[in-house]
Amino acid sequence: MMASCLRDRRGMTLAEVLIVTIVFGVIVAGAVGFMAAQSKAFYRGADKLTALQSLRFSLDRLETDIRTAGTNLVDGQPWLVYVDEDVLAFNADYATNLANDHGAVFYDPGAPSGTVRGLSVPQVVPNSSFTWGDTVYTVPGTGVNGPGETLVFYLTPDSETPRTDDYALWRKVNATAPELISRNLLRSGSEPFFRYFWSQKEAGSPIAFDSVPDTALPWAHTAKREGSVADTGTSARMDRVKAVRVTLRATNGRSGADERVAELSRVIVMRNADVERLRSCGDEPMLGPVGLTAAATDPDGDGTFQVDLSWSRAIDESQGELDVISYTIWRRASGAAGWGDPYLSIPAGQTAYQYSDASVVPGQTYEYAVAAKDCTPSVSGQEISAPVAVP
């Protein structure tokens, strides 16, 4: 009986311990291998997601800015400056640092003054030898530089990474230092970074919407004034560009088996390209400083005098709401208390305005006022001339 009890209390044999240890080791090794594979797959997925997020950020930034091209430019200022497969330069009233400036797309109170108005110092467009900004586009009647700044997106080989085939995307506004948007970008085979689409309107041919051949680029808007006699050839073709397709590949910055690549392509429509700006007939029109002058003249030299008036266009005729349809003129004897009824109305649609008032009385001194009227109709505030004495 005693021997039977002792046999029941015996432990595992050495062979059994070794078998259990081996089985446990196999299980642990398999679990560790599985966890390592899962961890590696996770990081690979995270690397590809990082590359994809970089692409999306780049394309979103490009689309946000490019779609503003051509907004709120003064007459004569081209909206597209320079295009090539790796650079796009355009003009737009993108940002303002003035709270009451309603023409800009975005309000940024911290924007430097050099980034919220047109170029006043010539700049070489990156990735080119083309100089832009040697012509100042002023707001009519003010002499103030127009609100349309020059924005440039361009790609350059990236010297900050170990790869030799990747690029960095940059954004530049006027003469400020370029801003880095993203890096670790690659070409997609032979496809250019920027491919442009334009409306062809050649004489005798139907209107066609097609891509600009790669061999035709670069295009530079050498005509300094939109619609001028020099606005022909390449400059005129640029005016008909309607969209740009951006194609980018991004990596996780590694090479070999650890490399992860994502690719995206997006067509960005340039909304303001060659599109007629529509009148809005909304708020009271803004007159602005139109420079109303009044001068007594004797054009025939016969001693019969008249008063010649002149002024420039209102702000809302050349830009802004574009809804000015006429100008109202008042006349009163100098020192009179009120203006009374309007003296006359002149249709809008000219680059500058003149009117000769021949119904004046010799020896009388007059004052004149002018206001803009829109299609609501609403009338702006007045600008009053200096008193003018008729001999």
Q: Is the pLDDT of residue 255 over 70?
A: no
Mean pLDDT of 354-369: 94
User: Which residues have C-beta within 8 Å of that of residue 182, sequence separation ≥ 6?
Assistant: 54, 55, 57, 58, 168, 169, 250
Domains in the chain: ranges and CATH: 47-269 (no CATH), 293-389 (2.60.40.10)
User: Which residues have C-beta within 8 Å of that of residue 307, sequence separation ≥ 6?
Assistant: 294, 295, 296, 297, 356, 357, 360, 366, 368, 388, 390
CA distances from 96 to 77, 115, 147 (A): 18, 8, 8
User: Of 44 and 154, which is predicted with more confidence?
Assistant: 154
pLDDT band at 184 (very low <50, low <70, confident <90, very high): confident
**What's the predicted TM-score (pTM) here?**
0.60
The two tokens of residue 265 are 């392509």
User: How many helices (DSSP H) and strands (DSSP E) are in the chain?
Assistant: 4, 22
The two tokens of residue 119 are 């170029």
Mean pLDDT of 272-291: 68
Q: Which of 62, 125, 110, 65 is nearest to 92 (CA)?
A: 65
pLDDT band at 42 (very low <50, low <70, confident <90, very high): very low
- Residues of the chain with pLDDT > 70, as a percent, come to 82
Helices (H), 131-202: none
Q: Look at residue 351 in the predicted model and tell me its pLDDT.
A: 83
Flag the least confident range among 168-177, 181-190, 304-313. Answer: 181-190
Q: Is the pLDDT of residue 206 over 60?
A: no
The 10s digit of each residue's pLDDT in 292-343 is 999 999 998 999 999 999 999 888 887 766 778 889 999 999 989 899 988 8
Q: Is the pLDDT of residue 357 over 90?
A: yes
Helix/strand/coil for 124: strand
Q: Is the pLDDT of residue 5 over 60?
A: no
The 10s digit of each residue's pLDDT in 113-152 is 888 888 888 999 999 999 998 888 888 767 788 888 999 9
